[in-house]
A and B are shown apart, each in its own frame.
Chain A
């Protein structure tokens, strides 16, 4: 497994948001704006890299009976630490993400990567996989958040400063008045519809590349998922 193939898997071939469909609950709930999408994406990326790194170091020495339990413990500790750090340094973001921050513990993406990848790979590969998978998730959150904010509010990145602090040099763009906003985009059904369009776009691209490449990049996804990864959360 090469670094390039790990990156390609996370960002494209096995993208958590568009291909594996892991962590859909936070993805759909939080992606109401570019800022909150960025916040949750970065928090998930941090947790994923830290958990992958640690689990790659200790995972192999753990007996099978307690492996998953230890993983969950470690992930929970990392998520709690991340949440405390955000509350201390980015209180606006912490308030805005609310319950979806502690719920990263239940994002099956984190446990799936720990079990199916990090515990069997050297630490550098595990870290890179955490970065690629977290990055792939972040990109989908940014796209969905950006499109929903634009359609619903007519702005791009308008809440970045209130979430990340006034040190951010970007005040956001307003393309049209919020009274012309498309309300559906901000509501949960809009999130499902837009994600559905994203999935369709991806499927169309896969189909164009021919059946051979579809099999090579789609099938291993399903089979490499551990049973726990199939639990939607």
Chain B
């Protein structure tokens, strides 16, 4: 038999080795599953994103991979993460037929609201849809199409109709009805759509530039 100090060391070493082995097994399991699901997850995410884009594009047909054909715009008038807006271009035969903006309304009632706004080249809204929000269920979730039609009122609007000063909720002297009891949410939504239109106007040439890539 070894002396007690030695056996204590032995015991500790054995425990440490067992713990390291368990960590390796756990790591191996996660790595295997990750490897086995990676392609499917990417594909599922791609399909989910495309389905959302098709909804705002409202039947506009296009022939490019609009998830890959995107540019990042910076909004100098907004602070933080919401300042970065991604614009995806839907093209037919190389010409842009619609632009889909991924925009964040930073001032929702309970956190940011992420939405997609599709704009046709002339500057009119094709459709807007909420991708993610944390607004109060039953009160602020009227912005989802399955709860109410409210968000469809942006379709066909542009910075000319109404004029920029009209891009406010009625309570603030604008042209958009706020949803009763959820003025903060309505305000955030109207401002976000107006902001995506203004950004589009400012970067129109950049966004509408013909594709530089050689077709695959």
Chain A residues near B (Cβ < 8 Å): 32, 62-63, 65-66, 69-70, 73-74, 76-78, 80-81, 84-85, 87-89, 91-92, 95, 152, 178, 181, 183, 186-187
The answer, yes or no, to whether B23 is at the interface (CB within 8 Å) is: yes
Partner of B37, one of A69, A77, A87: A87
Q: What CA separation (Å) do A180 and B14 show in the bound complex?
A: 64
Cβ contact within 8 Å between A84 and B18: no
Cβ contact within 8 Å between B37 and A88: yes
The residue of chain A having its C-beta at the shortest distance from the C-beta of B141 within the complex is A186
Cβ contact within 8 Å between B15 and A65: yes
Interface residues of B in 128-184 (CB under 8 A from A): 136-139, 147
The residue of chain A having its C-beta at the shortest distance from the C-beta of B34 within the complex is A84
Q: How many A-B residue pairs have CB under 8 A?
A: 70
Contact of A85 with B37 at beta-carbon distance under 8 Å, contacts A32-B137, A183-B137 already known: yes
Contacts of A77 in B (CB 8 A): 25-27, 29-30
The residue of chain B having its C-beta at the shortest distance from the C-beta of A182 within the complex is B138
Q: How many residues of B contact A (CB 8 A)?
A: 27
Partner of A63, one of B11, B40, B48: B11
Q: What CA separation (Å) do A186 and B137 show in the bound complex?
A: 7
The answer, yes or no, to whether B74 is at the interface (CB within 8 Å) is: no
Q: What CA separation (Å) do A107 and B67 show in the bound complex?
A: 37
Interface residues of B in 26-47 (CB under 8 A from A): 26-27, 29-30, 33-34, 37, 40-41, 44-45, 47
Cβ contact within 8 Å between A62 and B137: no
The residue of chain A having its C-beta at the shortest distance from the C-beta of B23 within the complex is A73
Cβ contact within 8 Å between A70 and B41: no
Interface residues of B in 74-132 (CB under 8 A from A): none
Smallest Cβ distance from B24 to chain A, in angstroms?
10
Smallest Cβ distance from B171 to chain A, in angstroms?
22
Cβ contact within 8 Å between B29 and A70: no
The answer, yes or no, to whether B22 is at the interface (CB within 8 Å) is: yes
Closest 6 CB pairs of A and B: A77-B26, A88-B40, A183-B138, A88-B37, A91-B44, A81-B33
